[in-house]
A and B are shown apart, each in its own frame.
Chain A
């Protein structure tokens, strides 16, 4: 059985890679995908602790996070499609309607 620290480090690495993606990328779709990566990192933590404490609650919350990710993806992609229809772009720094 491995110490739980390994899982924590893996989750941390994925979370930070996702954060770097959110900060550096201009394409909104890839930003959304990075957010999915961050949610996924959280899931690893929850499931690891659920395993190590022998309690199923962590897995229940991981399921809720997956549901949340689905909701977020649906609404986010809906916004992207609506925006693309109006402005013909999905780049984050061209979404500057307020700067007119």
Chain B
């Protein structure tokens, strides 16, 4: 009961502010609504008993990536509304494609109910009244079974960092 109330609350906020984020004209407003979406997704993680991801989402996504986005939006100074020559046709195409994909996926999810025994919708979680020690589990499998992917991810981050520095550097020798 409480679980589903929490879920619908956060899911409603997430979808609503995601829609607002895509439609706002001002980039900062978009960023604010994206932050709202990310925070309510963090709430859904908490509802799914994934506490470490909840705080990881807040620290990394909201506290790190979104700060970077807002920083860049301020740097490129898009305060003035952009000249709007948006093509109506493209919007319609996008909406129709999205709707079709949604119906298709909904149909698949609905059909999977009918599969005997292994139905998707009858999947039940292990009974967990108290929160499991989520952080410890995550750390153990991150440095145990998934050590190699972890290292690859760190190399990816290093490469991205170097790339960003090279991109952002002022070229003084350019003509």
Contact = CB atoms under 8 A, between A and B. Distances in A.
Contact of B73 (A29, A56, A70): A29
Q: Looking at chain A, what size class is its interface with the partner chain?
A: 35 or more
A20 to B, nearest CB: 5
B126 A78 contact: no
Contacts of B60: 66-67, 70
Interface residues of B, number: 81
Nearest to A12: B105
A10 B14 contact: yes
B120 to A, nearest CB: 6
Interface in B30-49: 30-31, 34, 37-38, 41, 44-45, 48-49
Nearest to B161: A74
A4 to B, nearest CB: 5
Contacts of B76: 29, 80-81, 84, 90
B82 interface: yes
Chain B at the A interface: mostly helix, strand, loop or mixed? helix
Interface in B125-175: 125-126, 134, 137-138, 141-142, 145-146, 149-150, 153, 156-157, 159-161, 163-168, 170
Given A66-B60, A67-B157, A77-B164, A24 B90 contact: yes
A44 B42 CA distance: 9
Contact of A64 (B7, B15, B75, B149): B149
B30 A54 contact: no
B44 A20 contact: no
B118 interface: no
A46 B48 CA distance: 11
Contacts, number: 217
Contacts of A25: 22
Contacts of B7: 2, 6
Interface in B1-35: 3-4, 7, 11, 14-15, 18-19, 21-22, 27, 30-31, 34
Interface string B38-75: 10010011001110110011001100110011001101
B53 A62 contact: yes
Interface of B: 3-4, 7, 11, 14-15, 18-19, 21-22, 27, 30-31, 34, 37-38, 41, 44-45, 48-50, 52-53, 56-57, 60-61, 64-65, 68-69, 72-73, 75-76, 78, 82, 86, 90-91, 93-95, 97-98, 101-102, 105-106, 109, 113, 120-126, 134, 137-138, 141-142, 145-146, 149-150, 153, 156-157, 159-161, 163-168, 170
